[in-house]
């Protein structure tokens, strides 16, 4: 069984007993978090689509707060001597999905 859930503005496919990386969520490591109602579920070929949501809650546990890979942004204007290098690492939360429904 899997579900499509809206986590921090992004639709994410989640399955029970698997982890997912979401945008940084409030809470400490080990805290229980409810990710909201499912938008769609699939249970062995039986598809349920909400309008806009189903009354199926998705619950998980925060495993860790991590950073993504560094993304380099390089700006240059030719023949002007202008170069600018910026780096950015996105903040993520690793969440173990405990139950769907």
Residue 93 has a CB neighbour count (10 Å cut-off) of: 22
Q: Residue 70: which residues within 8 A CB-CB, separation 6 or more?
A: 87, 88, 89
What pTM value is reported for the model?
A: 0.80
Chain segment 32-90, per-residue pLDDT in tens: 999 888 999 998 889 889 888 899 899 999 999 999 999 999 999 999 999 999 999 99
Note the pLDDT of residue 37.
Answer: 84
Would you state the torsion angle of the CA atoms of residues 47, 49, 55, 61, taken in this order, to the nearest 10 degrees? 70
- Placement of tokens 């070929």 in the chain: 45
Average pLDDT of the residues in 12-24? 94
Note the pLDDT of residue 36.
Answer: 83
């Amino acid at each position: 069984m899997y579900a499509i859930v809206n986590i921090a503005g992004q639709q994410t496919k989640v399955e029970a007993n698997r982890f997912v990386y979401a945008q940084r969520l409030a809470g400490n490591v080990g805290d229980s978090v409810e990710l909201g109602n499912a938008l769609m579920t699939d249970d062995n070929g039986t598809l349920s689509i909400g309008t806009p949501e189903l009354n199926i809650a998705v619950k998980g546990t925060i495993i860790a707060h991590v950073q993504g890979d560094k993304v380099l942004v390089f700006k240059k204007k030719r023949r002007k001597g202008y170069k600018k290098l910026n780096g950015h690492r996105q903040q993520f939360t690793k969440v173990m999905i405990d139950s769907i429904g």
